[in-house]
Structure 1
Amino acid sequence: MTAVPASHVLIVDDDHRIRAMLARFLTDHGLKVSQAGDGQAMFALCETARIDVIVLDIMMPGEDGLSLCRRMRAQSSVPIILLTAMGGDTDRIIGLEIGADDYVVKPFNPRELLARIRAVTRRLGAASINERPVATIYAFGGWQLNSSRRTLTSPAGALTDLTSGEFNLLLAFLEHPQHVLTRDHLLDLAHGRMSESYDRSIDVQISRLRRKIEADPQDPAFIKTIRNEGYFFAGTVTRLQDAFVRRQA
């Protein structure tokens, strides 16, 4: 069996001591690690190397992590985990709204960060398996979601940008249509969190999804809210194609 390449993590933090400590820890646990001290170095590395996960500090001099996250999300769906010294809801919600996939509050145990990185890479299919189903295409209301290419095509044939969190959430709905899903269930299906769930992140991402796929986000035809229970995907879902591909080295 051909070995699967290690996931490549980019740590972006202006504090070189934190970068070095995290780099040593993650490397010791089998990950490939690159480091950047600012946004310019981050974008330069992303242009020259395949990055699987970005660990991005919010509180940096100059352009802060939220601004960098927004810019990165405009051009790439690479998963982003924010490091924040703010424990309040507002900072976390802003990060999720602009496209971050997860967050870790400082001070934190490096093992928590490792667990979240592994959860993100599992969601993207980076687990060490040799063969897995990857080419299911889900059709609903003229839309098509391709689970292999991780693309969403509109009824007009245009590609619609999704963050990895939005993609995983929509895929969870399409795999469980006509069923009421609680926030905790959606967190398990779409996020695979390793610690205490933060259920408002689901509300934020559903709001973003509705703006992208609903004709009227205020009166959604697909993703319905079931009061005091959760959410319900009301559209008819058809699986157009299934295939298996063998992971390449």
Structure 2
Amino acid sequence: MQAFETVAIAAAAVAAGGINAVVGSGTLITFPTLLAFGYPPVLANVSNTIGLVPGVLSAAYGYRAELKGQRSRLLKLGLASLLGGVAGAVLLLKLSADTFSSAVPVLILIACALVLLQPRLQKWLARRDSRGRADGGVPLWAGVLGTGVYGGYFGAAQGVLLMGLFGSFLRDDVQRLNAVKNVLASIVNGVAAILFIAVTTVDWTVAGVIAVGSTLGGVIGARVGRRLSPAVLRGLIVAVGVTAAVAAAV
């Protein structure tokens, strides 16, 4: 790996770690960077997923204060993410990317619409059920499972999809939901990474550079993201999501 290549991948990893902590879609920075330097798509995706694990873990740790009181929610949704992440990783290793990739822009744009409409959705849910729901029920669990499949397969904008689901089914502070999003993304990336390490080829130099950069970015992103107002954070989620959808369509 040339010095310029190393610096470019490291810089992309720092940016990806920061974006993942705040909104998600960091993969859309690191993955194209690897492709630009000539790495084969599957090898790039596998190495990128492994490298981003420390970054999402550092982001989850940065949001630890917002995780208080959410143990039951994390256990329930974490299982969905675990199962989905394994299934998605198996799909990457076994199936063609064409059919699944064609659905990605649509999924991301739907998620952006859900995030944008989150305040109205919460009011609507409040009118339907004055007690609210702490866990989102089966629909949210199934949505998190599906997002886990997508995240294990590719991963770009899985955070946007999760926040869109949370906005539809949960009534809670957006920062607390963002903290849950980081934990679930850590689970998906983590189980996918374990499977990739066990059964396929990994470029450990690339994975190592991304790991260092994404960890730094995750710490920075968590500090910045926790200071953002719900409206600003929601706007960033939509902006990154639309960008992700356009990039995926191209």
TM-score in terms of structure 2 length: 0.26
Greater fraction of residues in strand: 1
Greater fraction of residues in helix: 2
TM-score in terms of structure 1 length: 0.26
